[in-house]
Amino acid sequence: MAWFLVLYLIYCTALTLALRKNGLNSRMPKQLNQLRPPVTRVLIIGATGGTGRHLVTQALDRGYEVTALVRDPARLAVEHPRLHGLKGDVLDYASVEQSVRGQDAVVSALGHKRFLGPSNILSEGTRNLVKAMEAHGVRRFICETSLGIGSSAGRMGLQYTLFVLPVILPFYFFDKTRQERLIAASRLDWVVVRPGALTDAKGRGVWRTGDVGNFVTTVKIAREDVAHFMIDQLTEDSNLGAAVGICS
């Protein structure tokens, strides 16, 4: 039993170190594009999901022309004259390219529940998005990943470091590290947004960003607040080229 515990702790520590090494540092040295045209047309990925639904409503509320690339347009929560649902899949480059063409920016809250085996949905979907954006000169990319990788490794607290990540999410989080590296290697104007544990509570309209989270407790944030911060990044330049932790 004692040996098992020691081996398990070594595994948890090695995983945390690997997630740290493979994710991004909080800010990558980057040559920013000098000319940043105003954003009016926004493509939202993951628009039928928890964060994505808030992204859609908030982007519409702020006057953007919104396209949502979704697997099932009937699952979009709202109808609006400025919302265009486009049926497609991030793993299908042709549909990604079609949805990216003519946009000014892409905001992604891509996620899935296939936790238990190796998967590359986040990284391959992001690879398609980055490729299409570079091909069509769409430069601004705001992408939700998570606290717990790169410079934020360990900052989801002990429950995640010792149980959730090593037992349930190791493949999912490694895919997130690949996703972040693809974004950082791109020529895009990007912001990686790393929330703590997400809740469906009502947004508070206030949050903390930067080196948030800690090694003991799990910080949280409402999906509505994450969406608010992500939509802010469409017009905010101070976080370009950075992976920004966020919690309430």
Q: How far is the CB of 3 from ligand NAP (least distance, A)?
A: 33
Asked if 23 touches ligand NAP (CB under 6 A), the answer is no
Nearest to 37 by CA among 102, 84, 98: 102
Cβ at position 121, least distance to ligand NAP in Å:
6
- The residue range among 23-31, 45-53, 56-64, 238-246 that interacts with ligand NAP, by the rule CB under 6 A, is 45-53
Residue 40: Cβ within 10 Å count: 12
The reply on whether position 170 binds ligand NAP by CB under 6 A is no
The DSSP element (H or E) to which 228 belongs, if any, is helix 223-232
* Site pattern 184..203 for ligand NAP (x: CB under 6 A): -----------x-xx-----
CA dist 8 → 3, 156, 226, 248 (Å): 8, 18, 33, 31
- DSSP code, position 219: P
Q: Closer CB to ligand NAP, residue 29 or residue 200?
A: 200
51 near 226, Cβ under 8 Å?
yes
Site string for ligand NAP, 127-166 (x = CB under 6 A): -----------------x-x--------------------
Distance CA 120, CA 173 (A): 10
Q: Which of 23, 46, 166, 170 binds ligand NAP (CB under 6 A)?
A: 46
Least distance (Å) between residue 87 CB and ligand NAP: 10
Residue with the closest Cβ to ligand NAP?
49
Which of 20, 22, 89, 101 binds ligand NAP (CB under 6 A)? It is 89
223 touches ligand NAP by CB under 6 A: yes
DSSP single-letter state for residue 151 = G
DSSP string, 8-39: HHHHHHHHHHHHHHHS--SB------S--PPP
Shortest separation between residue 74's beta carbon and ligand NAP, angstroms: 11
Query: Residue 86 corresponds to which amino acid?
Result: L
Report the residue number, 2 or 181, with the smaller CB distance to ligand NAP: 181
What backbone torsions phi and psi does residue 48 show, to the nearest 5 degrees? -95, 0
Query: Does 233 sit near ligand NAP (CB under 6 A)?
Result: no
Among 43, 76, 90, 105, binds ligand NAP (CB under 6 A): 90
Give the length of the chain. Answer: 248
- Binding-site size for ligand NAP (CB under 6 A) equals 25
CA distance 118 to 172: 7
Closest C-alpha among 40, 136, 54 to residue 96: 136
Q: Summarize as ranges the residues that interact with ligand NAP (CB under 6 A).
A: 46-52, 71-72, 75, 89-91, 109-112, 121, 125, 144, 146, 195, 197-198, 223
